[in-house]
Structure 1
Amino acid sequence: MNGDNELWVNSVNKKNKVALMQWMQNYNINLVQINGQRKYGGPPPGWVGGIPPHGSEIFIGNLPQEIYEDKLIPLFQSVGKLYEFRLMMTFSGLNRGFAYARYPTKHLADLAISHLGGHEIQRGYKIVVTRSTEKCELALDGIPSILDKEELATILCGLTAGVDTVSLYASFTSDLKNVAIVKYNSHREAAMAKKSFCEEPQLLYGCSFTVDWLQPPMKQKLQSGTLPQPHSFLPQMRSDKPKQDKITLSGVQCLQFLCDRMNLGQPIYRIKFLSLGSCGWLRFWYQVVIPKHRVPFNGYSWILRDNLIPTDQYEQAKEMVALQLLREFGYGVD
Structure 2
Amino acid sequence: MHASLWMLVLAISLLAWGLTHSSFHYFWQYFIQGFSVGNFHIQPFRWLIAIFLLIVLFNVNQWIQSRLASARGIFRHFDIGSRHSVLAIFRYVGFIIAILLSLSTAGVALHNLAIIAGALSVGIGFGLQNIVNNFVSGIILLLERPIRVGDWVRVGTTEGYVQRLSIRSTLILTFDRTEVFVPNSELISGQVTNWTYSNNVLRLMIPLRVRHDSDIDEVREILEEVGQNHPDVLQDDPRGIPPTALLLDVTENSLVFYLRVYIGDCNNSFTIQTELRARAVEALYRRGIRLAHQQQDLYFPERAPAAEHDSSAQV
Normalising by structure 1, we get a TM-score of: 0.24
Structure of larger gyration radius: 2
Determine which structure has the larger helix proportion and give its number.
2
- Return the structure number with greater strand share: 1
Taking structure 2 as the reference length, what is the TM-score of the superposition? 0.25
